[in-house]
Amino acid sequence: MEAANTVRVSESSLKTYCVEILGRVGVPAGEAAEITDNLVEADLRGVDSHGVVRFPIYIKRILDGGTNATPKISLVRDGLTSAVMDGDNGLGHLVGIRAMELAIDKGKGGNCAFVAVRNSNHFGAAAYYSEMAARNGMIGLSFTIGAINHMTPWGGAEAVLGNNPFSIALPTPGAFPIVLDMACSIAARGKIIVAAKEGTPIPAEWATGPDGLPTTDAAEALKGFVVPVGGPKGYALTLIVGLLSTMLSGAFFGRDVGDLYEKTTTAQNSGHLFGVLPVDAFDDVDAYMQRMQKAMDDVTGARRATGVERIYLPGEREYLSLGARRRDGIPLGTSLLRELQELGARYDVPLALA
């Protein structure tokens, strides 16, 4: 349910605003448009924790020298089915797009392919990249190291892990792919950031304060630790995703990981891993689609619990949100709106309301 203290902004207005400000801080126009499409799509899909709520910190990091506005992205290794990419400390959205484009290109020959990345930054919503592959007839995988350490090892009292999100997207015969996109914490830290900006409480099971006790105060939660989903299973999952995202490329892990918000003058050396599994490398595409349709029908046609009107597939709510918000506008919290407007005023870039 949408909060009362929101204002709607059109997709086109938000994109114009972001592209113009990125250009003011030195990002080339074409790349600014790609980054913006990635960023605003998160808001369109209802994933507000990974949309423009992060835009001010991305700009600050460029201004402070912690992120490179004009990276020369390069390949360190390049094989038939694998590669290692150096992002030259560019914005993670751009680096991620280039890496998944490369994986898809390698996959078009019928090969499963993986691209490991180093020297990148926070790349936004992981689903953006896995869906790129799904639109090309491939199962897409994307993994990333968290941009902040805010999770302890199971039984530990020191944050040396991020919530390390990952996404897997499967092409379907329907209007949208089936998409898993999740952090390894009960809730993405970005949701806590949104709550802190708007001064709203969070569920007590999301995070602890710096004292290690559960808290509903989002500001206190940002000083503490996020709670892994499934207890020790979530800890193990975030560890594995973090290792997959860094060990193949030489990106930072553990205590070496910088803080996206606090260490804005130094490079983060964030790591990602992108993979594709071309459907036609395994079976006839039509046969795959028939199996997928039956699987989808089995799931959505299951007997529903009392009071449940509809069973959704993973990624379906986001798909529906995308259509609705394109039509009705993107809701922004009033505190976030003020922050964006203040940033725009510094560069004489207004943010038009819907």
* CATH number of the domain encompassing residue 201: 3.30.60.50
Residues 149 and 271 in one domain: yes
What's the pLDDT tens digit per position in 276-286?
A: 999 999 999 99
Residues 85 and 139 in one domain: yes
Residues 141 and 79 in one domain: yes
What's the pLDDT tens digit per position in 219-235?
A: 998 888 888 999 999 99
pLDDT at position 354: 65
CATH (domain of 30)? 1.10.1530.10
Evaluate whether residue 91 is within a structural domain. Answer: yes
End-of-domain residue from the set 300, 317, 342: 300
Evaluate whether residue 314 is within a structural domain. Answer: no
Residues 98 and 211 in one domain: no
pTM of the model: 0.93
Residues 219 and 256 in one domain: no
What's the pLDDT tens digit per position in 134-190?
A: 999 999 999 999 989 989 898 888 899 999 999 999 999 999 999 999 999 888 777
Q: Number of folded domains in the chain?
A: 3
Torsion of CA 311, 313, 315, 318, to 10 degrees: -20
Residues 170 and 276 in one domain: yes
Backbone angles phi, psi at 152, to 5 degrees: -90, 155
Query: What is the C-alpha separation between 81 and 113, in angstroms, rounded?
Result: 4
Residue 307 DSSP SS3: coil
Residues 171 and 243 in one domain: yes
Q: Would you place residue 337 in the very low, low, confident or very high pLDDT band (cuts 50, 70, 90)?
A: very high
Residues 246 and 125 in one domain: yes
Residues 140 and 222 in one domain: no
Rama region for 259: left / alpha / beta (φ>0; ψ in -120 to 50; rest) = beta
Q: Give the domain range for residue 193.
A: 186-227
pLDDT at position 187: 82
End-of-domain residue from the set 261, 284, 300: 300
Evaluate whether residue 313 is within a structural domain. Answer: no
- In the sheet that 74-78 helps form, which strands lie side by side, from edge to edge? 74-78, 82-86, 113-120, 270-278, 138-144, 166-170, 178-182
Evaluate whether residue 315 is within a structural domain. Answer: no
Q: Would you place residue 243 in the very low, low, confident or very high pLDDT band (cuts 50, 70, 90)?
A: very high
CATH (domain of 137)? 3.30.1370.60
